[in-house]
Amino acid sequence: DTGVSQNPRHKITKRGQNVTFRCDPISEHNRLYWYRQTLGQGPEFLTYFQNEAQLEKSRLLSDRFSAERPKGSFSTLEIQRTEQGDSAMYLCASSLADRDRGLFGANVLTFGAGSRLTVL
Amino acid sequence: GQSLEQPSEVTAVEGAIVQINCTYQTSGFYGLSWYQQHDGGAPTFLSYNGLDGLEETGRFSSFLSRSDSYGYLLLQELQMKDSASYFCAVRDILTGGGNKLTFGTGTQLKVEL
């Protein structure tokens, strides 16, 4: 297994355009998370999936943001009508559920290298 | 909600020991984790404390006191490669199904010769 894979690694777009990021988690992990990170800050939670079900969304996730995880494998994060404030690193992470690894399960996230978005 | 406080920056010399503190506020505490992130890299898991006490993993140790809502990461025998940002993260069982980690703003550790 090659870990969590994200693409594209970098995306530069003009304000108002739509962008989509893809995340391929570790194959045996059933939980998948999206976080956003800006310079000098910690990762901010956006949403997470258990298998194909989206179980929680942050209020940071406006209606311009949508995430999917069809078939419980890869996930996509789409941002519509991008704004300059959307410029950030978008991190995907995956984990096992607690029952699969005791209490460590959902505390141990494996992150991808991220997709850096720049909105001009 | 949750909030975490950690120092923004710590500087130490190679071979020394450094402690990075983290205080948190959360209603349904379910564990404190530590992650390391090098510039341009992904956060990587270092350590987890679900119960009070010390957890040791090689040169890194992490401590938790739930009564004080406080934990720390201890790095021994510092090496230049330890220069990175370190994040504490809490899991809150009462928020949103208890399955997300909330991260602090991070402590940038600079190791000097």
What does each C-alpha distance from A11 to A3, A17, A60, B39 come to in angstroms? 21, 11, 21, 19
Contacts of A111 in chain B (CB under 8 A): 42-44
Looking at residue A27, its amino acid is S
Q: Which two tokens stand for residue B49?
A: 């404390």
Q: What is the pLDDT of residues B16-69, one digit of tens each?
A: 999 999 999 988 888 899 999 999 999 999 999 989 999 998 999 999 999 999
Of residues A115, A93, A120, the one with CA closest to residue A105: A93
What is the pLDDT averaged over residues A108-112?
93
Q: What is the pLDDT of residues B64-94, one digit of tens each?
A: 999 999 999 999 999 999 999 999 999 887 7
Per-residue b/e over B8-25, b at no fewer than 16 CB within 10 Å?
A: eebebeeeeebebebebe
Q: Are A56 and B106 in contact (CB < 8 Å)?
A: no
Task: Count how many pairs of residues, chain A against chain B, have C-beta atoms within 8 Å.
Answer: 61
What is the pLDDT averaged over residues B94-109?
85
What is the pLDDT averaged over residues B87-102?
82
Q: What is the pLDDT of residues A29-77, one digit of tens each?
A: 889 999 999 999 999 999 999 999 998 888 878 899 999 999 889 999 9
What is the arrangement of strands in the sheet containing A19-24, beginning at the earlier edge strand? A5-7, A19-24, A75-79, A65-68
Query: Closest approach of chain B CAs to the CA of A44, in angstroms?
Result: 7
Q: What is the pLDDT of residues A75-95, one digit of tens each?
A: 999 999 999 999 999 999 999
